[in-house]
Amino acid sequence: MKIPTNNNQPPNGGGRNTPNILLPSRVIPDESDWIPINNVNEWRSDNQPYYARASFMKLCLPAVLYSLILNVSLKMLSLVPFTSSFRINVQQLHYDDSFVLPSTNGDDETTNPIAIVTGSNTGVGFQTATALVQRGYNVILACRSREKGEYAAKKINDQSNDRGDLLKQYGNASFLHPLDLSSFASIRAFCKVYSDKYSTLNILVNNAGINSQGDVTEDGLEMCFQSNFVGHFLLTKLLLPHLLKAKNKCNNNKEEAGRVVNLSSVTHHFAPANERLYDDTTDSSLSKDLPLNNGIHDKHFWLGSATPGLSNGTYRESKLASILFTMELNKRYGSQGLRSVAVDPGSVASDIWRDESQLMQNAYKMVYLTPKQGASTSIAASIGILPKDAIYLQPYLQWRLNKAQSSTKWPWYKVPNPTTEMLGKYIGYAITDPRLPNDGSGGYKSAQALWSVCEKITLKKIRVS
């Protein structure tokens, strides 16, 4: 897509060929919308060892070596008698640890619990939708192409029917309406069609994502950040009334409202707030609303993530945003029964790498998880009865147990060294503390800033000219 320019825009900094975007002042949140994040040195992301893109590249090779050595060692030990303590089993989500389904016919779309999975015609999303159908949920495949969505739904239903287990209650997969997360109009159209047919929503899995940057959406935002996060923010907001009406039953007779699952990534560890593309700090015409970053994940940082051309790390930033969004959803709507969980599917050989060379795709398949393995965290987060305050799941063995939570049967780890979350021993799913912005409030000030920016952006369409 050709990036348009506008002479009334913030400068492109040091002569860079950076796209310009018209940001009407009415879109910029007022200062009253924010809990201020003071510019204290210890809160700066450049004082935190992993909040730098260079750290990500440095840790890639150690992660590969660590994974190979660990997996080979554990495999060899498992073959030696009397070493059963070294055998690490993959976590399987048991029905006793999941929501209880109502006793209904799997084809009854009016009474079966309903789930929406975005980007579910392929990869991790497809496997997540398949597992939910086989658990008894009616799953709506929310993707851009009707043809691909309907084909995927048929494939899921055929797989379930072929299992031949007459005693098991299966759900049904269906395609309702195209959903393009890079278009606010498409998101609103999808939600309108959904609202006309359904009144509740049990599970929303915000799975879809892209890994390419540089394009601009029809709404004037950076393509990757809108497709991965801002679009899901708007989708979730529009579906909140349906989520709050839902009743997910636990086996202890307790109930939750709807469950929102947000796909994050190990790359959330590498979303610095002090690295932007432009570097001309002396230009007096630089927009006061988009200053050179001060190293803090505040309103300026998130506005910059949504603005084309100001960051080459919007994939990483979108994945940190998914975790902060999860926290803010729980803070705002937890008292009404809503529960939100962020997940890292792990390093997965999925269609997100379709723009890479065939050689690289083949290499990924050798060391990465399969889409079915990658879906394990999404499934556990969607229907699992999670311990209180658990907000983030990832699929690899870690070495720093959170002792305060050691009594739970769900493995719960402290914030890991990112090396062990890139690759490692696959264990299905485990609760892990995420790496949050050091804003003096455990990430909540940054989360509120993110929410306010997205709320303003989605309420007022930003124009590109």
Active site residues: 315
Which residues, other chains included, contact 68 with Cβ-Cβ below 8 Å and sequence gap of 6+? 367
Q: Are 127 and 153 in contact (CB under 8 A)?
A: no
Q: How far is CA 348 from CA 88, 264, 266, 367, 410, in A?
A: 20, 13, 11, 9, 23
What is the C-alpha to C-alpha distance for residues 2 and 214, in angstroms, rounded to an integer? 10
Tokens of 268: 């959330």
Angle separating helix axes 231-245 and 314-333, nearest 10 degrees: 20
Q: Are 116 and 137 in contact (CB under 8 A)?
A: no
What is the C-alpha to C-alpha distance for residues 277 and 287, in angstroms, rounded to an integer? 15
Under DSSP, the state recorded for 50 is: T
CA within 13 Å, CB half, 51: 22
Q: How far is CA 196 from CA 106, 113, 193, 242, 246, in A?
A: 22, 17, 5, 11, 16
Strand-pair partners of 216 = 222
Tokens of 438: 């050091």
What is the C-alpha to C-alpha distance for residues 387 and 397, in angstroms, rounded to an integer? 19
Identify the helix (H) or strand (E) that includes residue 427.
strand 426-432
Q: What angle do CA 286, 307, 21 make, to 5 degrees?
A: 65
H helices of 135-284, in order, are: 146-162, 184-197, 223-225, 231-245
What is the C-alpha to C-alpha distance for residues 156 and 126, in angstroms, rounded to an integer? 8
Q: How far is CA 290 from CA 9, 64, 219, 229, 449, in A?
A: 11, 38, 18, 20, 14
Angle separating helix axes 444-459 and 314-333, nearest 10 degrees: 100
